[in-house]
Chains A and B, each alone.
Chain A
């Protein structure tokens, strides 16, 4: 009996060390166009997992205590940068067709935003900002929401010669999509059961403030990197400044459909039409 106990301990410790693996992630800086909910288009840049452009920045995901090795290739024709917020020592410039490699050792459930810091905030505004989501366990039920907003006129000028005092976005996206496209994105649309433990990784990589209101529930922040740290706060409406990140834990106690939306209700529009903006509907099943 005792040997079985010690064997179990040994197996568990082995299992734990197996979890701490090396994770490799390729990022490509790609240039393309974002197609809005109203089928208009404008120039956009994104960090993608391959050299093919999509308007959605890839979510880099790993477990705590993993070794994360990221290679960033500049697939564009101009100079770009790569920086990770709150992780010292990672700040690079990358020439066209060149690449860099960096290594991270995340130790807790958290979010690190990576972005192009050159010509700040122009390159970031044009799309180059995404998140590294560090999970606690491989089987965590997780969602990833990368919030951005877009002002067509600014994108058409490729971010040059802008007066940010005139910034008035006309599209609001999560992972590059707006309502009702968001209902088809499994990384955004929460579809779970009562009493599930759900983690929502939220990064505001736009320039505006956003205020996410959850109907029906008060999620708890299990990680926060905002100026006013909101760790362990329990709220139904989460005000987020530009570059704020929060990991929310929600354990739904009832079934039904519940909206989540920006409570700056102008941000629930797209191309001036409501409700084409930052708005999704959760489905909680028995």
Chain B
């Protein structure tokens, strides 16, 4: 009897695990090029194409974010309401087979009122895209795109399964709109599968479909957090310009993955370039409380010139995260503290590589930077007296913030 109960328990537990691992997430995707419109930040209404999740929903730029967990299967039941256009869904970066790739050059497209099913198994957590690949240069510009977020297995709040944890994440999908293309949609010759493309001169520069002052008021875009909080930025570009994202240095930006794969080593860099179709994850861990802006630049890919810069507000208020972290991990000690000239930075564990030390004043300005080995000193004698934050970066352990009180000699 006891043994049977054990077997049953194992069986049910196994089923439970199996059901976690084998979730199937189903979405409905309506590919629409029938009289859809969207309103830009200046109030102008432009014709768009789009992807919606129901027949009754109006298309917007971009389409909704699709979510699943690593290990899940995703099914997209797809119907085209295209009024003469042809459409597909390309699962960008999900490494699907030719049948599910949504590329009419190698597979098939959907005509008006046709339907199909696209599916994939989410093998790698990360940030991906989906977009129409029929006459893609036009249909992507018209708005037929969205983001797919594959969370870590079980929905864990880590960048990837077993990867670095985060407290909150933001999803930014950058793109542009050339309204001339929308008012005079280039005709797709569906027999020859060609389209004549006018000169691309974008006049709206979007993050999650928002532009201008809309960005300042959008809670899904502007960054709010606390000192020490770990904020994962999922960044993707589906436009035809290159994005250069510049974070304030006190946000401690580290680029940790790209295109759904971890980087071999995290890159400590305040600037992240994202070319069309690329995705990057940047982990932020604010080292001070401050307000500032993240610059999102749109670079002409031919000239390298900045076409426009969106400023995204950042508000870091409170110190909850860092207090907890400092209590948990005192990897580095700074002494003497208060200090007047030479201060020593020493790790409590053996670290072979060099430490990158950045010293910030209370305004968040970087005032001193030096690479040292554990146990070596930094000369702070030239700094004015006051409170400073020292951020210590290492390729071997997590970065840490330490307070320094600088006093006169």
Contact = CB atoms under 8 A, between A and B. Distances in A.
Interface in A148-172: 149, 164-169
B242 interface: yes
Interface in A206-243: 207-211, 213, 215-218, 228, 231-237, 239-240
A263 B258 CA distance: 16
B198 A266 contact: no
Interface residues of A, number: 47
Nearest to B242: A209
A258 interface: yes
Contacts of A228: 267, 269, 273
A265 B240 contact: yes
Contact of A211 (B200, B277, B305): B277
A256 B95 CA distance: 12
B201 to A, nearest CB: 10
Interface stretch (B18-26, B64-72, B133-141, B374-382): B133-141
Given A269-B137, A273-B195, A263 B277 contact: yes
Given A216-B95, A266-B137, A268-B137, A237 B259 contact: yes
A254 interface: yes
Contacts of B99: 256
Given A215-B101, A265-B137, A273-B197, A259 B106 contact: yes
The winner among A215, A236, A239, A281 for most chain B CB atoms within 10 A is A215
Contacts of A164: 303
Interface string A176-219: 00000000000000000000000000000001111101011110
A213 B277 contact: yes
Contacts of B318: none
Contacts of B140: 265
A257 B258 CA distance: 24
A208 B92 CA distance: 23
Contact of A239 (B135, B242, B302, B304): B242
Interface in B167-208: 193-200
B303 A165 contact: yes
Contacts of A167: 302-303
B97 interface: yes
Contacts of B105: 257, 259, 275, 279, 281
Contacts of A149: 302
Contact of B103 (A209, A259, A266): A259
Given A233-B264, A235-B258, A273-B194, A263 B103 contact: no
Interface in B120-136: 135-136
Given A209-B299, A236-B260, A239-B274, 16 more contacts: A149-B302, A165-B303, A167-B302, A168-B199, A209-B242, A215-B90, A216-B101, A234-B261, A254-B97, A259-B103, A264-B276, A268-B136, A272-B197, A274-B138, A275-B194, A276-B194
17 contacts: A210-B301, A211-B276, A216-B101, A218-B259, A228-B267, A228-B273, A232-B264, A233-B258, A236-B92, A236-B93, A236-B95, A239-B274, A256-B101, A257-B98, A264-B275, A264-B276, A265-B137
Interface of A: 149, 164-169, 207-211, 213, 215-218, 228, 231-237, 239-240, 254-259, 263-269, 272-276, 279, 281
